[in-house]
């Protein structure tokens, strides 16, 4: 369990993050971020609430900017979130909607859930008079949360908080970004329960309120989300504490127990990574206790690798493939997918940190070579 120091450290970090986001936001996007959930003037209340429910359904498993991009298009397809109309859709009609590439997020299970939830919405409106009255019928958020998860398809612990937050309730969405940040700040461990996470968040928010009385769970959640997610539509540099943290430009580096940027030796500037697209052949590096690359890759020190992949270590890179790393061997196989070359961009798309991971491992263990910006498969590659 975290101690008072970790709570205080997180509270200080949140205030620094808020300042950083304000100073580096794109076109005041962070300032106006909370207004994205305001109900448009004249829009039907039940339709607005159901649209937010649909957004919560698709937020589970899809990137936030992807969901945001599709929501206006899906709103048109679903007749401005007409719950009655949606509830009458047949399986064949849902299948036709699922074929609308570039218009809807094509996920048959979630689209079927939209229809099932519309049927439930019609029932609730008949019983309570409106969707909002149903929500207002609960004595507290906890009892409301339990009923939402019970009633609605594809709504779980995280997505129901996403829905509640987006329709005006003060709750934090404990998603991957927030959980990962809390772990890196050592406010929780990786075995922390959902209830423990909520308790820690409340303690951090209360501590932060000493300096910033207006700071609530929603503002805390949104600040950490934008700090961790790669929302370049809001933040010029994109996420800082993402899958691969940008520790070298992180505004809370001094407060982070898991910071991964080692200090440069006194009087010596840090080395920069050699260019791989200059067409120049690099000589074989001399033996160096800190060099982890062999002749298949230009000399690169562990400090430089950590800036790309903060989880890298010399022992991690040079250890042999073993049975317990079978998933990594499969990762190498999938990376090449039977092709003779894989471009640099393919590594990034392979899965962020995991893509770089298997690429590094492939090079270090002789499964690939890197020449002029192209990753080439070697004869040793796993078949």
Summarised one tens digit per residue, pLDDT across range 60-114 is: 878 888 888 899 999 999 999 999 999 999 999 999 999 998 899 988 999 999 9
With cut-offs at 50, 70 and 90, classify the pLDDT of residue 244: confident
| Model confidence at 321: pLDDT above 60 | no
CATH number of 302-377: 1.10.10
Percent of the chain's residues with pLDDT above 70: 66
φ/ψ of 301, rounded to 5, equals: -85, 160
With cut-offs at 50, 70 and 90, classify the pLDDT of residue 260: low
What pTM does this model have?
0.60
Give the residue extent of every domain in the chain. 1-257, 302-377
Compute the average pLDDT of residues 51-61: 90
Summarised one tens digit per residue, pLDDT across range 357-379 is: 555 555 555 556 655 545 555 65
| Model confidence at 49: pLDDT above 80 | yes
pLDDT of residue 89: 94
Please name the CATH architecture into which domain 1-257 falls.
Orthogonal Bundle (1.10)
With cut-offs at 50, 70 and 90, classify the pLDDT of residue 293: very low
- Separation between Cα atoms, residue 180 and residue 49, nearest integer Å: 29
Token code pair at residue 95: 């299948």
Least confident window among 142-146, 230-234, 242-246, 269-273? 269-273
Compute the average pLDDT of residues 180-209: 89
């Amino acid at each position: 369990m975290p101690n008072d120091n970790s709570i205080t450290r997180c509270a200080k970090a949140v205030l620094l993050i808020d300042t950083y986001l304000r100073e580096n936001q794109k076109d005041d996007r962070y300032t106006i971020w909370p207004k994205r959930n305001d109900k448009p003037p004249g829009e039907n209340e039940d339709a607005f609430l159901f649209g937010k429910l649909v957004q919560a359904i698709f937020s589970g498993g899809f990137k936030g900017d992807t969901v945001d991009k599709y929501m206006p298009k899906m709103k048109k397809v679903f007749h401005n979130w007409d719950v009655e109309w949606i509830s009458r859709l047949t399986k064949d009609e849902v299948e036709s909607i699922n074929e609308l590439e570039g218009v809807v997020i094509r996920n048959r299970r979630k689209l079927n859930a939209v229809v099932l939830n519309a049927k439930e919405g019609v029932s609730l409106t008949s019983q309570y008079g409106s969707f909002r009255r149903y929500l207002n019928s609960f004595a507290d958020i906890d009892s409301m949360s339990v009923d939402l998860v019970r009633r609605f398809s594809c709504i779980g612990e995280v997505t129901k908080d996403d829905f509640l937050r987006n329709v005006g309730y003060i709750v934090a969405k404990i998603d991957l970004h927030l959980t990962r940040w809390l772990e890196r700040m050592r406010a929780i461990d990786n075995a922390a329960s959902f209830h423990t996470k909520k308790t820690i968040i409340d303690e951090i928010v209360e501590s932060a309120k000493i300096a910033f009385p207006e700071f609530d769970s929603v503002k805390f959640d949104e600040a950490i989300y934008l700090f961790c997610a790669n929302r370049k539509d809001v933040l010029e540099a994109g996420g800082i504490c993402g899958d691969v943290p940008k520790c070298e430009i992180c505004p809370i580096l001094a407060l982070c127990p898991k910071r991964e940027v080692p200090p440069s030796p006194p009087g010596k500037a840090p080395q920069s990574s050699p260019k791989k697209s200059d067409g120049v052949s690099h000589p074989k590096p001399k033996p160096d206790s800190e060099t982890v690359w062999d002749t298949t890759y230009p000399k690169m020190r562990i400090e430089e690798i950590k800036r790309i992949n903060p989880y890298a270590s010399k022992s991690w890179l040079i250890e042999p493939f073993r049975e317990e790393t079978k998933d990594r061997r499969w990762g190498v196989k999938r990376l090449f997918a039977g092709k003779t070359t894989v471009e640099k961009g393919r590594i990034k798309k392979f899965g962020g940190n995991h893509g770089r991971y298997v690429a590094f491992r492939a090079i270090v263990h002789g499964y690939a070579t890197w020449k002029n910006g192209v990753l080439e498969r070697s004869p040793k590659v796993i078949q």
